[in-house]
Chains A and B, each alone.
Chain A
Amino acid sequence: MRDSRFMRMLGLLFAVVLGAALITGCGSTKDDSDSSGGGGSAASADAGKADTSAAIKKGLKVVVMPKQLGNPYEELEDKGTVAAIEETGGSAKIQGPTDAGASSQVSLLRSITQQKPDAIVLAANDPNAIAPVLKQAMQRGVKVVTQDSDAAKDARQIFINQATTQSIGVQLAKQAKSTAGTGEIAVLSATANAPNQNAWIKIMKAELQKPEYQGLKLVKVAYGDDDDQKSFQQAQGLLSAYPNLKSIISPTTVGIAAAARYVSGSKYKGKVAITGLGTPNQMRKFVKDGTVSEFALWNPEDVGYLGGYAAAALASGQISGKQGESFKAGKLGTKTIGADGEIVLGPPTTFTKDNIDKFDF
């Protein structure tokens, strides 16, 4: 008897749930044409025309949002953004979620919109989950800049891209040339199907076909799976299999550190060059002991710095986010907005023993 009562209650509950769902729409499937990514209205309000001669406004209020609090890379970016806003005479506050889930930024962004800042600079955890609330913010005149990780194109005015795939591939080829000169080189990558690394290596290979790289021979692409121990063993394997190797190029921060550690403690030290993408703090001792002469990475602080200046220029009406507009970005010089409101930071920074002590990340 009690059971049937319970079942009726449960049935009622389901009926309410389904009823509520059914009332709101009938027969919609993925193929319907009117489906779109957001609850908010899609119009993005461009606040009038851009006036490139307008001065940067003083006292701008900007909120900076990382993907997640406590992520060291994101903290560097945000440090750059805060520095840029303070240079323009404004104030920037950092507010971020405590986890990096797809929807973790949404509720915080709603509260930030209510604070009515002049601009929001953020790295998106998910391009679409935050799109409706960002659109709402833009409708209220809040300028939205994404950096490092983009939101849906119509949910922000400007995206700061740290580096294009092309520029990294070209950079790796240049490093191969400057460390090896001529002779055999090898690549120590992450996993065999890592999309970033594979795209970079592909461009690097194409670049090596050019006449200025004549005499360089890529003998092997090895995979250390971004695992320190495995990368170490792969570096060891490469050097015993190819005794004439001049340089190992590792486009992953794990691989380059492991290879440098192996070489610095082996008879190959000083004979085989290690280069690629790494962080200064990780590589400092190998640069100091002569194992590594140069390596590269984009500077996360510069990514944030550029995002800060883009936000200030937007909020001051200097730019509106359209392709071809340009603005002064402090120490980074004049930057121009590319297609889809994207600004590329530029080629990665090269670190050598002369400049490595200026960086701390």
Chain B
Amino acid sequence: MSTVATTPTGSAPDRTPGVVRTEDSLLKKVLGRWETLILVLIAVVFAIGSGISSEFLTGESLTTGSSDFTEYAILALPLTLIIATGEIDLSVASVLALSSALMGYLWNQGLPMEAILPICIVAGAVCGLINGWLVTGLGLPSLAVTIGTMALFRGLAFVILGDESVTDFPTDYTDWAFGNFGGTVVPNTIVLFLVLAAIFAVVLHRTPFGRSIFAIGANKEAARFSGLRVNRTQLKLFVLSGAIAALAGILLTLRNSTAAGNVGTGFELTAIAAVVLGGVSIFGGSGTIGGVILALILLGGIQKALNLDPDISTYWVNIVFGILLIGSVLGPNLAARFREARRTRNRGARPFRPGRPAAAPSGPEGEGNTDA
């Protein structure tokens, strides 16, 4: 649990002490070093990648590979917070497409970009508000709600722009989205992501608001009884998720200088895969922004490596992502079962709760301690 600081961003905070206190030290170590595992995987992928193509370890690969991951990365930030509260938002890619379509429509109407950008972000926030209200106001499960709004917002995107695409955006903007920061190989859009990631990391790991997110994810009832405004916090996170998804839609539109309603299909799955692979418990209560950034680097490296080999079908990217996602849910789960089995043997009968392997205090990060 002491590897977060080694992320290339240097911005992810590491506030959890590296000391493991409880007696299940072996298991705790294995689970506690989730980021170490991801780092090892990154090293493996980079070794394989440079074996696949001499083009892999180049500045250009960094530029193109990371800019292609901009939208996944940005979507993953608010998703980290939402998943840490034990909820999910599957509608982010549809909000992204809605934002793109709206941008194209408003541009066709002759509005200036300076007006269009805030309108799109506000529209995204409204989408998030709808999700949040359905989940917190009506008490509906977020999985069902956001599957519904995923279809709804995508449909709206097609209503707004039809099946046409808008492409004549001003070069000032598209050049910025297409270009690199200063004279470096780092794309401008990735610099924007890093700034956002730093803000999200501070909010999640250094503020009472961040603590309340983990508390809600660990045990919603307990959080409510200890005076946290659970619904209000979750509503805010959904609004935030919508606004950030709209921002991702703007970036995608500018990067490709094309607005269309059919962009970003399936983006939510890659973003969620990065969050879960990054060690955020799918059941809520634990996780770090640093881990998610590492997972994004891992997934981006895999996609780039596989795309550089013309003999490897693009389907393999999906297959590998899928396997990693299952592995990242299954790994801690199996470990928890193993631990429960050992406990049962040692201390006799003890209730086993299947399906909640990352139960609050012993999540992979230890970050979800709610006794603070």
Seen from chain A, the residues whose Cβ lies within 8 Å of a Cβ on chain B are: 2-3, 5-6, 9-10, 12-14, 16-18, 20-22, 24-32, 34-40, 63, 69, 93, 95-104, 106-108, 110-112, 114-115, 117, 126-129, 131-132
Are B114's CB and A22's CB within 8 A?
Answer: yes
Given contacts A18-B117, A29-B112, A32-B170, contact A101 B263 (CB under 8 A): yes
Q: Which of B107, B114, B307 contacts A27 (CB 8 A)?
A: B114
- The complex places the Cα of A106 from the Cα of B71 at a distance, in Å, of 14
Are A18's CB and B118's CB within 8 A?
Answer: yes
Residues of A within 8 Å of B68, CB to CB, are 106-107, 110
- The complex places the Cα of A21 from the Cα of B172 at a distance, in Å, of 10
- The complex places the Cα of A35 from the Cα of B171 at a distance, in Å, of 5
Residues of B within 8 Å of A108, CB to CB, are 307, 314
How many B residues touch A, CB cutoff 8 Å? 68
Whether, in the assembled complex, B221 has its beta carbon less than 8 Å from a beta carbon of chain A, the answer is no
- The complex places the Cα of A329 from the Cα of B311 at a distance, in Å, of 26
Please, what's the 1-or-0 string for B200-213, where 1 marks a CB less than 8 Å from any CB in chain A? 00010001110010
Are B314's CB and A69's CB within 8 A?
Answer: yes
Q: List the 4 shortest-distance A-B pairs measured between CB atoms, nearest first.
A: A39-B178, A25-B172, A93-B310, A111-B307
Q: Which of B179, B195, B207, B256 contacts A129 (CB 8 A)?
A: B256
Seen from chain B, the residues whose Cβ lies within 8 Å of a Cβ on chain A are: 53, 55, 58, 60-61, 64, 68, 107-108, 110-114, 117-118, 121, 165, 167-179, 192, 195-196, 199, 203, 207-209, 212, 229, 232, 236, 240, 243, 247, 250, 252, 255-258, 260, 262-266, 303-304, 307-308, 310-311, 313-315, 318
B203 to chain A, nearest CB (A): 6
Main secondary structure of the interface of B (DSSP, over half): helix
Are B203's CB and A17's CB within 8 A?
Answer: no
- The complex places the Cα of A10 from the Cα of B112 at a distance, in Å, of 24
Are B61's CB and A101's CB within 8 A?
Answer: no
- The complex places the Cα of A39 from the Cα of B178 at a distance, in Å, of 6
B108 to chain A, nearest CB (A): 7
Residues of A within 8 Å of B55, CB to CB, are 114-115
- Using A2-B208, A29-B170 as known contacts, list a sample of 15 further A-B pairs with CB atoms less than 8 Å apart, ordered by residue number in A: A9-B199, A13-B196, A16-B199, A17-B117, A28-B172, A29-B110, A38-B174, A39-B179, A69-B313, A102-B165, A106-B68, A110-B68, A112-B310, A114-B60, A129-B165
- The complex places the Cα of A63 from the Cα of B310 at a distance, in Å, of 8
